[in-house]
Amino acid sequence: MKEITNLITINTGYSKKKATEILKGGGYDALFMDFTRNQETFIRDIAKGVEPELAVEHMKDLGLVKEPEDTQFFRAAKPLFESLPSLDLEDTDIYCYKEEASLILSRDVAVRILILTAKAGAGKIEVEEWKEVMKDDIYNEIESAEGEAEYIADRAEKKNICLDASEELLTSLSGLDFRVKEIVVDKPCKPLDILAEKIKREIMAGEVVNAEEVKGLVGDHLRFVEMIMEKGYEEAYRMWQEFQSSQISPGMR
């Protein structure tokens, strides 16, 4: 039976750096990264020693990386890129499993969230619109899972490691007779991560998320955005993790 270990990280450089320490430990035959398949050649180039900045610029020139939608994702990935040449893997053992169509839909969701955030900042929280955009993102993950699982299954070796596979993708791999393990490097805990979890339970189990819950989490999201503007994304996320672990709302400090 093939094995796959999924590393759960957050979209920050310090979280990806912790993941690289696990990757450097070796013990696996193939690495599956959460970049799109049409970016795979460039990620492998980085593994062969091409400067990450040059590879990313080339992807931008070809329209494979969009700004500002992809900026933080690639900024956070810098420690991963820097570690790739030193891993005990051939570049051909490194794969990118995400579907291109899924990324396009994710970018669309990000733009819609930006618009809703601006409205919320002006005092208008559109509860149903927030729920709708969260549902679209969740359905995107669900609908992509089977194809991503097949892509991984067709290329997997005996022992594999993966970055940030969705719950649905891992379920699909289990159905393909993979033994699935998970390591939580950092648990996603942004307000919209929590809202998404609640909305997913509404979809899957009928646990209705009421308007007050949505408004409360959107309010927390606005405070998180304010922290990003003041401290930058990485430091804001670090602070938010501390707030979550101490169960103190930033708005109450």
Summarised one tens digit per residue, pLDDT across range 224-250 is 999 999 999 999 999 999 988 876 544
What pLDDT score was predicted for residue 246? Answer: 79
What pLDDT score was predicted for residue 243? Answer: 86
Torsion, Cα 101 156 55 52, to 10 degrees, reads 120
- Identify whether the C-beta of residue 186 lies closer than 8 Å to the C-beta of residue 8: yes
Torsion, Cα 86 15 142 99, to 10 degrees, reads -40
Report d(CA 141, CA 138) in Å as an integer. 5
Show the tokens assigned to 113: 């969230």
What pLDDT score was predicted for residue 247? Answer: 66
Mean pLDDT of residues grouped by 10 in the chain (253 residues)? 97 98 96 98 97 98 95 97 95 96 96 97 97 98 97 98 98 98 97 98 96 98 97 97 74 39
3 state DSSP class of 186: coil
3 state DSSP class of 182: strand
What pLDDT score was predicted for residue 101? Answer: 96
Tally of CA atoms within 13 A in the half-sphere of 31 that contains its CB: 30
What pLDDT score was predicted for residue 131? Answer: 98
Tell me how crowded residue 43 is: count the other CB atoms within 10 A of its CB: 24
Show the tokens assigned to 191: 């307000």
Q: Closest by alpha carbon to 171, among 203, 141, 206, 135?
A: 141
What pLDDT score was predicted for residue 18? Answer: 98
Q: What residue type is assigned to position 136 of the chain?
A: D
What pLDDT score was predicted for residue 252? Answer: 38
pLDDT in tens, 61-95: 999 999 999 999 999 999 999 999 999 899 999 99
3 state DSSP class of 221: helix
What pLDDT score was predicted for residue 55? Answer: 98
Q: For residue 31, give the H/E element and its range.
A: strand 30-36
Report d(CA 216, CA 125) in Å as an integer. 10
Q: Closest by alpha carbon to 190, among 133, 228, 240?
A: 240
